[in-house]
Each structure stands twice: as C-alpha cells, then as structure tokens.
Structure 1
C-alpha cells in the first residue's frame, strides 16, 4: 500500500513539473519575442516584460530543484528512511527553494503591476500574489515538517541510547 501511495505522489510531482516546462518551452519564448520587438522600438514596456520573463525563467530553477528534493524525500519514505537526517536536509532544501521563488516574485511584483496597469489586466497582479502565497505556504509547511522531523529523530536517538 505504501509503495502505491508513494508512486502516486511521485507521478503527481512529475505532472506538476510538466505545465511549467511547457510554459518555458512554448509560451514564454513567444512573449519574449514580442517584448524584444517592443524593446527594439524603444518601448520601455518591452524591457519591463523582458525583466519579468527573465525572473520567471530563473524561478524555474528552484522550482525544479524543489521537485527533485520532493522525489528524493518520497524515495526515502519508500525505503523506510523517512526518519533520517537525509529527510531533514531534503525538507530544508525544499524550504529554501520555496523561499527563493517567493522572493523572486516579490521582487517582480511592482513590474507586474506596471504591466497590469498598462494592459488593464488586474488578474496579473492576483496571479503574482497567488504564486507568492503558494510558495510561501510551501516554505512554512516544509519548515514545520523539518522541525517536527528533527525533534522525532532526536527523540528516537535518545530512546535508542537509553535502551
């Protein structure tokens, strides 16, 4: 049963990465092409959109690192090594990746506001805030799990020493 649930979670993690990869391969280059054309014509909005796209591409690096660490954590669970220091390290890396993503999107949110005002699209700001909130929630959740897991490991080691 445990193998089935971890397999399901692994497939879910992989499926989470596919839309971001598709976005990076198909949608963002098209937007970059249009932004470059605007920037070549001297339009400052083109430079703003290019800055946003660059940060979005940079944010995919910690996103995929976090997905990789999640897959490693699930493999530790499959091997009955969930209560190990390796799991704590994986959770710490997930937390740091989520904080990095949140920080990157906080930095570009004012630029997104400028684009949203120009294009009269307030949904862009909402989308940016959802990404910030979701990655911040992942960071908080990973931090709580990291602390709980570390305490459980400490208690287990203490019990092993007393017996």
Structure 2
C-alpha cells in the first residue's frame, strides 16, 4: 500500500511539474505579448514580468524535484536518513525563496502599478501564505527527521 501511495504522489508531482512547465513555456509569453500590444507604452515591462516568472520557477522546480526524490527515498526505506534531511532542507529554502520573490513582486506592483492593484496583491499574499506554510512544514519535518536520524546513529553506536 505504501508503494502505491508514493507512486500516486510521484505522479501528482510529475503532473504539477508538466503543467507549470507548459504554463511557463506557452501561456506566460502569450500573456506578455498580448499585454504589450494592448499597452505599448509599458511594453518594456513584459521583459521584467517574464524574467521574474522564470526566476520564480527555478526554486519551484528544484523544490519539486526534491519532493520527488524524497518519495523515492521513502520507497527505498531511506526516509530516516541524512539524504532525506538534506532534501527537506532544500525544500524549505526553496519555499522561503519563492515567498521572498512573491513579496518583492507584490511590493513592486503596489509601488509602480497604476489602477486597481487589489487582486494582484491578494493573489500574492495568498501565494506567500501557501509557500510559508510549506516552508514551515518542511522545517518542522526536517527537524523531526534529523532527531530520528540522531537517535538511530546513537543506537548504532551503543549496539
């Protein structure tokens, strides 16, 4: 049963990765070019938008890869090893980085965007909250797994 659950979760992670990659490759450039045609006076901002979106996707994909690797470690009965602790640490740092990028984007939008900013700021705050929850969960899980690894290594020294 455990293998089927991790197999399903790995499939979900792959699906999320494919969807986000297709959004980055096909949907975001289309949005940027459409916005540049509608607002030619601010067309130069499309490059900043695309650059920030692609920079944001780097820690997202790194974190997604580490989650996938964590499920592989669980399948190999290496859930309570040092490699799992390192994977959780990377996931935590990726989530913190994503939160920082989103906060910087919200600040940029709040300062430089004209018109109604409420929707963009609200979505940014929701995304920051979700990423912060993931970072907190990964940090707590990292600490717990690290304690288990320390207990296991102490028991190996005793025996």
Structure 1 length-normalised TM: 0.87
Distance in 2 between residues matched to 1:157 and 1:50, nearest whole Å: 51
Structure 2 residue 106 is matched with structure 1 residue 109: yes
Residue in structure 1 matched with residue 18 of structure 2 by the alignment: 18
Residue in structure 2 matched with residue 4 of structure 1 by the alignment: 4
**Is the contact made by 1:95 and 1:142 (CA closer than 8 Å) also made in structure 2?**
yes
Distance in 1 between residues matched to 2:52 and 2:98, nearest whole Å: 10
CA offsets per residue over residues 66-110 of structure 1, 9 Å max, x none? 111011110000000111000001111111111111111111112
* Aligned-partner SS, 2:21: helix
Cα RMSD, aligned residues only: 1.9
**Is the contact made by 2:32 and 2:49 (CA closer than 8 Å) also made in structure 1?**
no
Counterpart pick for 1:139 among 128, 135, 138: 135
Moved more, 6-15 or 51-60: 51-60
Give the length in aligned residue pairs. 158
Unaligned segments of structure 2, at least 5 residues: none
* Aligned-pair CA distance for 1:52: 3.0
Distance in 1 between residues matched to 2:78 and 2:107, nearest whole Å: 43
**Is the contact made by 1:98 and 1:139 (CA closer than 8 Å) also made in structure 2?**
yes
* Aligned-pair CA distance for 1:53: 2.9
